[in-house]
Structure 1
Amino acid sequence: MNAVTSSLKTDTAKLRHLYSRAGFGATPDQLADAQSLKRAVRNLLSDSETVSELKVVEPDENVTKKNLKDLMQRGQLDRQMLRERIRDNAERVRDLNLQWLDRMASGKGSLREKMALFWHGHFACRTMGQNPLFMQQYINTIRQHALGRFGDLLMAVSKEPAMLQFLNNQQNRKNAPNENFAREVMELFTLGRGNYTERDIKEAARAFTGWQFTPDGQFVFREKVHDEADKTVFGKTGPFRGEDIVQMLLENRQTARFVTGKIYRFFVNETPDEARVSELADHFYKTNYDIAGLMERIFTADWFYDARNIGTHIKSPVELLAGMRHTLGITFDQPQPQIFVQRTLGQLLFYPPNVAGWPGGKNWIDSSSLLFRMQLPNYVLKAADVNIRPKEDGDVNTQSLARKGGQTFRTTVNWTDFEKPFAQTPDAALPDALAAVLLPFPLRPEQKTLVQNQLKSAQTHAARIHALTTAIMSLPEYQLA
């Protein structure tokens, strides 16, 4: 191998690492067309400058739980109609899930969608009462601000009706404060546990009184239920409102440190380099929480491509599914199997398990989910029937999205585009060439033997590409990014 060939292989491996972390993987053409790492980072950022909204429901179409109760009390809705309305709401949330997954898989604005997936876990929120409008507004707010200023994102998502409802701030009133919202804003969104006192929580909860929302999904500040008296938070005293608390949190350098640490663990390595995190956090704070600037700083750093950071990230179920679809141009003939995959592997968009979001990392893997993960390429690429059932999670909302019996995977794969870059690749070199696109590590000799055993019935060059691709994607290393 000459120096030029070695350099090309190194650059391809680094580009693959970049696209797998900053997006949902790469197609062979993306890797071949990238001129340099810095140019690829700039392209990822420029491609994510604009955002188009997800939409499954118009505000005047939305049917809330309160609307349904009112209709029942007036005798205009019977129980059968009620069940149908609730099911319709659940299906619209499902459609929102699939629409967002389509955006992730499309490759357009992939950095924005990847950041939004991260923020969905950071600002964990789930649909309450199956309200599709609230969830639509919530995720569009996150997607809109995903690469902007963290302060704008924090303020906007904190005022989303879905979040205020999820964290019970509608019940937070003077003389009867509810501390749930104030606690999670500090513990999960900004400072992290142990960086505030119980007194800070109690006083901040009083400041957030009056932060409410209307049935049609509008934030509203209701002065009549707001506590106007002085509060003492972080050693400061005044007649604070919610906006004042948010500003105090942003002024605290610990917020930059906490958020940067979570970003590092998600995008770089679950075992953080504390010195690097501190340096990044200082820069994040000094730039007024510029998210795009922070991500560019990470993705253009030499250390981001160190061997210790390669292949250390276990793909979440959504990353796995979106990545397969993007790399191979896969479309599903019916939507339900994609919901089935998310439920079976434990990450259903808009249904995080709790206020802390999905734990991630090794928590994605257990004996049953690993087997299904490794079989997934066969199910998807070979249009197989699946008889596995998702584990019961005790959640009536997610169970309402399930169907009895097995799942039938019917897909269309854009093999034509995927095959083109390998059209002139000799058969003997195909395993390594495909692995360079699909895996974070080169094939080991025993792996090469294993995947080549799948070629016995492959008579054409295209058939060999198909068989090898399926076999390589079924290796444990495909679960890593």
Structure 2
Amino acid sequence: MVSNIKHIRHLYARASFGIRFEELKQAENLSVKEAVAGLFKASEDISPANIIAGNISYKNFLLANEGTKKMFLQEQRQQEKALNIDWVNKMSTSDAQLREKMTLFWHNHFACRTPNAWYAQQLNNIQRSNAIGNFKTLLMGVSKAPAMLQFLNNQQNQKNHPNENFARELMELFTIGRGNYTEQDVKESARAFTGWGFNKEGSFVARPALHDTGQKTFLGNTGNFGGEDIINILLTKKETARFICTKLYKYFVNEVPDALHINAMADVFYSNNYEIKPLLEFVFTADWFYADKNTGNLIKAPVEFIVGLNRQFYITYQNPDVVLQFERALGQVLFYPPNVAGWPGGKNWIDSSSLMYRIKIPSTVLNGGVIEFSGKVDPEDEAFIATTRNQKQAVTTKVQAEVDWDRFFKSIPKSASKTTIAQTILAPALTSSVTEIINKTNDTKALVIELVSTPEYQLC
């Protein structure tokens, strides 16, 4: 049973945003398979109430296009901020943890930047709706989304003047990966996607007058191909399954790929026609997923770090904009990846500046304190931060967070030792420095604040 508890903590650290004490109490007598089934069951519902993020409508979008340029930019900024904050809230409070964790994965896999919050919301909901469904359905939906068509210039892709941007990234970043196609394949694929675009209502349109109807030869196949044909051909290649599984392995298991395990994942993914659920079930019930070398070894992405803290302590913010400042300071502003390849992750999350904030943020939030933000600013991030400060100017912000300490303390079993509390909050095995904190701290509140301020809290 002790082994099961350890495994379930690890499962929630990876397939969720960390485990709450109340969740551990509900799951502690379950087998790993039962716990995995529970995570999927909690993520089944994809009704509109659980899908729509940001509540940005086409009407809102049209309103943003009326009035002066200044008014337009202000409305656009507010919509972007609202979308970001809404998703953080959804991740922090939703029971559909696995769906949101996978939505975050696809958000980075299909990295996209658009100043149009309505398009961004559409794409986010496509990813959420299909997060644990079928990869082909997801890929087709993303490929036809206005946000992606705009970002990768396919709106300008037409016969006699093909634009290769989308066709290239589709292969390099979304499916088979580098080394598995030629430059000629890129050119032929681009021809197949000519005419794919969207109308002013934000709906996908295939424009026949702009489509190249000639014969195309792609990855050894010849025909009068359109965009859907190209996607279908890409999915016949097992390299696509292996490419996706490699990224999922690094996301859920270990930054260092294990070819044997990844090939086994690819077999499951490919033989199940790219259904995502059987693949994840295979990973989460594999013995190697729970091996010591794969436990407490991944650096939390900034959003995982923020959301995990919010969930564990039931945090709400009087001024939600502070969450955007956290994202910027830690290097991951939702909906604004650095480029089409997304955030590189792993050790790239940590530098001297971000580590300082990572250590400081938990205790500041839990104590309702003040934090100073300074340093470089991505000009694009300013759309989220609505400020006119000088780039090098420090900004002092009162966090104004409300922590539900009553609920947190009530969720801890009366029989729980300080060591058990530490093992629930921290993913890695307890180090001597953590043991020292446990031994010297008698007050539970002081103990948990110390624990979330340790380097170990940065790992999952």
Indicate the TM-score class for this superposition, using the shorter chain for normalisation: over 0.9
Q: Give, in angstroms, the shift of residue 302 of structure 1.
A: 1.3
Structure 2 counterpart of 1:248, from 207, 211, 233? 233
CA contact (8 A) 1:207 1:245 kept: yes
Q: How does 1:153-302 map to 2 (within 5 A)?
A: 153-302=138-287
C-alpha distance in 1 between matches for 2:379 and 2:86? 26
Structure 1 counterpart of 2:39, from 39, 44, 52? 44
1:22 has 2:12 as partner: no
C-alpha distance in 2 between matches for 1:224 and 1:259? 35
C-alpha distance in 2 between matches for 1:154 and 1:95? 26
1:320 has 2:305 as partner: yes
C-alpha distance in 2 between matches for 1:333 and 1:434? 28
Q: Tell me, what secondary structure is at the counterpart of 1:387? A: strand
Q: Structure 2 length normalisation: TM-score?
A: 0.94
CA, structure 1 residues 424+55, in 2 after alignment: closer, same or farther (shift >3 Å)?
closer
Amino-acid identity (%): 44
CA contact (8 A) 1:138 1:157 kept: yes
Structure 1 residue aligned with 2:126: 141
The aligned amino acid for 1:174 is K
CA-atom RMSD in angstroms: 1.7
Structure 1 counterpart of 2:103, from 86, 99, 116? 116
Structure 1 residue aligned with 2:60: 61
Query: Higher Cα Rg: structure 1 or 2?
Result: 1
CA contact (8 A) 1:94 1:401 kept: no
CA contact (8 A) 1:270 1:361 kept: yes
CA, structure 1 residues 387+257, in 2 after alignment: closer, same or farther (shift >3 Å)?
same
CA, structure 1 residues 280+439, in 2 after alignment: closer, same or farther (shift >3 Å)?
same
User: Could you list the runs of 5+ residues in structure 1 that have no partner in the other structure?
Assistant: 1-6, 72-76, 456-463
Q: Tell me, what secondary structure is at the counterpart of 1:63? A: helix
Give per-residue Cα distances to partners, 1:342-391, cap 9 Å, x unaligned.
01100000000000000000000001111110111111101111112252
C-alpha distance in 1 between matches for 2:412 and 2:315? 18
C-alpha distance in 1 between matches for 2:109 and 2:330? 19
Q: Tell me, what secondary structure is at the counterpart of 1:62? A: helix
The aligned amino acid for 1:48 is S
Q: Which moved more, 1:223-232 or 1:160-169?
A: 223-232
C-alpha distance in 2 between matches for 1:105 and 1:260? 26
CA contact (8 A) 2:167 2:193 kept: yes
Q: Give, in angstroms, the shift of residue 447 of structure 1.
A: 2.6
Aligned pairs, how many? Answer: 449
CA contact (8 A) 1:107 1:326 kept: no
Q: Give, in angstroms, the shift of residue 423 of structure 1.
A: 5.8
Q: Tell me, what secondary structure is at the counterpart of 1:191? A: coil
User: Could you list the runs of 5+ residues in structure 2 that have no partner in the other structure?
Assistant: 390-394
Give per-residue Cα distances to partners, 1:296-341, cap 9 Å, x unaligned.
1100111110001001110000000000111111111111110000
Q: Which moved more, 1:394-403 or 1:438-447?
A: 394-403
Q: Structure 1 length normalisation: TM-score?
A: 0.90
Structure 1 counterpart of 2:448, from 469, 475, 478? 469
CA contact (8 A) 1:171 1:178 kept: yes
Q: Which moved more, 1:173-182 or 1:402-411?
A: 402-411
C-alpha distance in 2 between matches for 1:469 and 1:323? 14
Q: Which moved more, 1:435-444 or 1:465-474?
A: 435-444
C-alpha distance in 2 between matches for 1:403 and 1:266? 36
The aligned amino acid for 1:161 is P
CA contact (8 A) 1:381 1:413 kept: yes
Q: Which moved more, 1:277-286 or 1:161-170?
A: 277-286
Q: Tell me, what secondary structure is at the counterpart of 1:407? A: strand
Structure 2 residue aligned with 1:407: 397
CA contact (8 A) 1:16 1:25 kept: yes
Q: Give, in angstroms, the shift of residue 111 of structure 1.
A: 0.2
Structure 2 residue aligned with 1:459: none
